Amino acid sequence: MKTIVKKLNVWTLFIWAMTLCIAVSCSKDSGTDPPVENGGENGGENGGENGGEENNNLEDINSSVSSLTYNSDELLNVQDTGGAAAERTLNSDNTANTGPTLGQLFECRTMDYSLESNYDDVAILRPTNGVVYPGALVIGNAGMLDGAPDPLALDRAPVTLRLDLPGIGTQGNIVVDNPTNSSVQSGIDDALEWWNANAYQDGYVNASNSSYQASESYSSKQFSMDVGLNLEWATGSLASQFDYESTTIKHYAGVVFKQVFYTVTMDTPSSPGSVFDPSVTQAQVDAAIGSDAPPAYVSSVSYGRIIMVRMETTNTDTSIELDAVLEYAGGVSGVGTVNSTYDEILKTSSVTVVTIGGNAEAASEAINLADIDSGFGSLNSVITGENAVYSRDNPGVPIAYTIRYLKDNSLAKMGYTTDYRVESCQTFKYDHASVDVDNNSIFDVRYRFVYKTAGTNNTVIGGYYTVNNGQRSVKSPPDGAHDVEVEFQFQDAFIWRQLGSPRSYGYLSSQKCFEVTNNLLLQITLAPISCN
């Protein structure tokens, strides 16, 4: 009996062991791996930073992009400026003099310039129709030169963006699974709202990062290139306000203030193909790009506001730099705090302010500086205040962006050229030569100028200059006098009598010398003589 029990225990243990093994085996066969998160840095070895799935096309796509042969400088018209942002060349310089007319001389100087500029930070002066946003893919060809690049429409891998507000920490890392204009903007809005509700409440305040550029303006395109904008991209009221040409009568100057509240930057792709969804094939990429249409991406977008101030004046004093007048009005350091000449120009000038961004859409406002506090910083009310600081109610708008090529992450630089003319005319009063009277007689003599004043036909009879006997006098008509006559008299006892006929000259272009003598019979003579 004991033997039977022992045998049964052995068989029981054997059956239980087999049952357990079968159960474990079935459990392993029916189980599944946990899902891989979409986006972030969760991709496999072939997915790059942005991939959530293994991309079997990655190497082929990388090869296609890397094999593109293009010269980005040629595609984007980059100019040889010797490394500077702009280069100005004087092509001709001519001066023409006319007159005298009514006692005035006119001198006009005409200088023809060519201006070459390169931009890598592109201002947004018109709607980009959802094409330009942080992380967007675009075509990096000549289409970018008009400020509206063409989109590269292929499915995307997740993208990581960084918003640079102070105190935002890791909440500023924005991962967008399916990057589109709407999804990216939604992610940015969420990050901003977190900052408003948390970091802002903790005392962080993000005043704008302001910069400015000023230029005297001779054409709208020249001005826009000098201040780093391209007004050819502008539309609506902005375009109309800055569509002008300087003349010899009206002069213009402008200053542009860029106030950046924050910037959103895309993480640099680990490889060209890592920006595409794993479902995108090499054939699809090859069909969308080429050496004449290389792929690129929006590396960063700055948000804030742009303030453009245009001044129109009829002041023709060429010794005054109008851009310095606007810097003075804007309170720019280093231009002095009191300048009566600048104040007078500002009071007699027309000033237009155009604002893009802030808590309202683009607005245009004409300002009469004679009606507000003039002087240093008189434009501060326009360029400072609550609209110059980021807040929930003042989020700013996209004002500038940069683009990099997908092939090598190099910065896309765009070149522009223009020709313009600077005309400056000045009016001078005619500067007359002198009349030299040498009195070698025993009589006293006197003379005077009869003339018309500059720019008019009003006749003036000047006062007499007396030349006693044995004396000499050298005098000239007033500057700007025209139709000049010289009248002479001599004193006969106590009576002044006319001495010869009036001498008419119109303009005294050379010195006129006279000698007064008398003979033994006391006959007086006025005779022209050589001045040598």
164-205 per-position pLDDT tens digit: 988 899 999 999 999 999 999 999 999 999 998 887 766 555
The strand ranges marked E within 251-359 are 251-266, 295-313, 350-357
Average pLDDT over the chain, rounded to an integer: 80
- CB burial of residue 139 (10 Å; 0-12, 13-18, 19+): buried
At 236, the pLDDT band (50, 70, 90 cuts) reads low
pLDDT above 70 covers a percentage of the chain that reads: 72
Q: Band the pLDDT of 296: cuts 50, 70, 90.
A: very high
**C-alpha torsion sign, points 45, 48, 51, 55:** negative
Tell me which of 41-55, 84-98, 346-360 is least confident.
Answer: 41-55
Choose among 441, 435, 450, 443: nearest CA to 514. 435
Q: What's the average model confidence in pLDDT over 95-121?
A: 93
CA distance 367 to 378: 11
Residue 371, pLDDT above cutoff 90: no
Q: What is the mean pLDDT of residues 305-318?
A: 74
Q: What is the pLDDT of residue 255?
A: 79
The answer to whether residue 321 scores a pLDDT higher than 80 is no
Beta carbons of 216 and 323 less than 8 angstroms apart: yes
Q: How many CA atoms lie within 13 A of 266 on its CB side?
A: 30
Contacts with 302 (C-beta within 8 Å, 6 or more apart), sequence order? 121, 260, 262, 263, 398, 399, 400, 401
Residue 316, both tokens = 């023709």
DSSP conformation class of 469 = T
Q: Beta strands 295-313 and 397-405: pairing type?
A: antiparallel
Confidence of residue 332 (pLDDT cuts 50, 70, 90): low
Q: How far, in Å, are 225, 383, 392, 514, 515 from residue 363 at the CA level?
A: 22, 13, 20, 71, 74
Among residues 291, 1, 2, 20, the alpha carbon closest in space to that of 139 is found at 291
Residue with the larger pLDDT of the pair 39 and 130: 130
**What's the pLDDT at 8?**
38
pLDDT(28) > 50: no
Strand order through the sheet with 435-439 = 472-475, 435-439, 512-518, 524-529
Cβ-Cβ contacts under 8 Å for 514 (sequence gap 6 or more): 435, 436, 437, 438, 488, 526, 527, 528, 529
25-39, 313-327, 380-394: range with highest mean pLDDT: 380-394
Mean local confidence (pLDDT), 61-76: 95
pLDDT higher than 50, residue 340: yes
pLDDT digits 0-9 by tens, 402-422: 999 999 999 999 998 989 888
Q: Which residue has the higher pLDDT, 357 or 460?
A: 460
- Residue 364 above 50 pLDDT? no
| Distant-in-sequence, close-in-space partners of 438: CB < 8 Å, separation ≥ 6 | 472, 513, 514, 515, 516, 529
Task: Report the pLDDT value the prediction gives residue 468, as an integer from 0 to 100.
Answer: 96
What pLDDT does 54 receive?
66
Least confident of 30-34, 99-103, 329-333: 30-34
Rounded to an integer, the average pLDDT of 507-527 is 95
**Which one has a higher pLDDT value, 72 or 29?**
72
The 10s digit of each residue's pLDDT in 9-21 is: 444 444 444 544 4
The residue written with tokens 């890791």 in the block is 170
For residue 61, give Cα distances in angstroms to 56, 286, 410, 446, 476.
10, 8, 18, 101, 87
Phi/psi for 439 (5° steps) reads -95, 100
Better-predicted residue by pLDDT, 57 or 105: 105
Cα–chain center distance at 242 = 12
Least confident interval from 110-124, 127-141, 206-220, 269-283: 206-220
Cα distance between the two ends of the chain: 164
Domains recognised in the chain with CATH numbers: 72-425 (3.90.840.10), 431-529 (2.60.40.1430)
Query: How far is residue 289 CA from its own chain's centroid?
Result: 33
- 40 — pLDDT class (breaks 50, 70, 90): very low
Confidence at residue 23, expressed as pLDDT on a 0 to 100 scale: 44
CB-count burial class (<10 Å; 0-12, 13-18, 19+) for 427: middle
Q: What band does 229 get if pLDDT is binned at 50, 70 and 90?
A: confident
CB atoms closer than 10 angstroms to residue 138: 23
Asked if 413 and 228 count as a contact pair (C-beta separation under 8 A), the reply is no
Question: pTM higher than 0.85, yes or no?
Answer: no
Examine the pLDDT at 489 and tell me if it is beyond 80.
yes
CA torsion through residues 398, 400, 405, 411, sign = negative
pLDDT given for residue 208 in this prediction: 55
Q: Measuring CA to CA, how many Å separate 375 from each of 54, 307, 320?
A: 65, 20, 16
